[in-house]
Amino acid sequence: MKLLEFVNLEVVESVKNKDLLTWLDYTSMEVKQLLELATNLKKLAKNNVHPPLLAGKTVGLIFEKHSTRTRISFEVGINQLGGHAMYMHARDLQIGRGEPISDTGKVLSGYMDGIMIRAHSHKMVEELAEAASIPVINGLTDLFHPCQALADVLTIHEVKGYLAGLKLAYVGDGNNVAHSLVIACAHLGIDVSIATPKGFEIDSTILNKAQKLAASNGSSILATNNPIESVSGADVIYTDVWTSMGQEEETAARLDAFKEYQINEDLVKHAKTDYLFLHCLPAHREEEVATSIIDGPHSVVFEQAENRLHAQKAILASILS
């Protein structure tokens, strides 16, 4: 369906009114179409064209965790698409005083057109989506970070010009970012080699599902404990913080466990000479990544951060318009 003739945009019809909790619930074609829409919306934005695809829509933004990129990119994106974003911190809602999330979902469904939630527990977000009659978008949970992953592959495609057949090395914690990243790459035919310390591997069930999905798209996902093996021949190197929000008590133990997994000049010598460096931010320089790498010529972390805006606009426009 053409939304506006003058911009020649098409939403992804099959995801209209669909929750986005994980990319495992989407087809590879839908992910590719959302990526294409994000690319087109970004081109329009660079020419100061913002089609009002969410005109008259109100989207609630619920946060249990602190946020820079997620909050700002969603608020700006919704506003650019002509909608209204309503920020709500969990402590200011009744869920902060014990109201069931299912009740909150039912109440908000009578007021709004969609909900984005950044939460501690993925189970909580699943309960919200089950109860709400409006679409729910996962802005981050302990298991998944799907919006980040779409921005990641958008960034890689912009710079490399293609995706299928590339090798991406993820080095660090097998966390929510890693989970969504391997699934998105599996949809798009990107080979992934993920290196984590023993005891910090990605969830085995998610890994198995991603490996099957990758095989269906002609790619592979390898899990290893060897960062050199992971990075060897890589087109893209990706890392994240070693201690995520809520894990602060584990900081000392994690610093010790991850000390051989820093992205530094010695490690990147094993990658291709034109490798890209990605990090979802915020970054801890001289912990998971050397300053010379994240601030160096191979780094595209700030382009990646900007692309959260454009990727999420594609998601919002397709699900809510």
Catalytically active residues are 118, 145, 148, 240, 280, 308
Are the CB atoms for 18 and 321 separated by under 8 Å?
A: no
Cis before 282? omega within 30: yes
Residue position matching structure tokens 């064209």: 49
* Interatomic CA distance for residues 279 and 229, integer angstroms: 20
Which of the 8 DSSP states describes residue 20?
A: B
Cis before 197? omega within 30: no
Are the CB atoms for 43 and 49 separated by under 8 Å?
A: no
Are the CB atoms for 300 and 155 separated by under 8 Å?
A: yes
* Interatomic CA distance for residues 109 and 131, integer angstroms: 9
| Nearest residue to 313 via CA among 42, 22, 13 | 42
Radius of gyration over every alpha carbon of the chain, rounded to an integer in angstroms: 19
Q: What is the 3-state secondary structure (H, E, C) of 40-67?
A: HHHHHHHCCCCCCCCCCCEEEEEECCCC
* Interatomic CA distance for residues 142 and 51, integer angstroms: 33
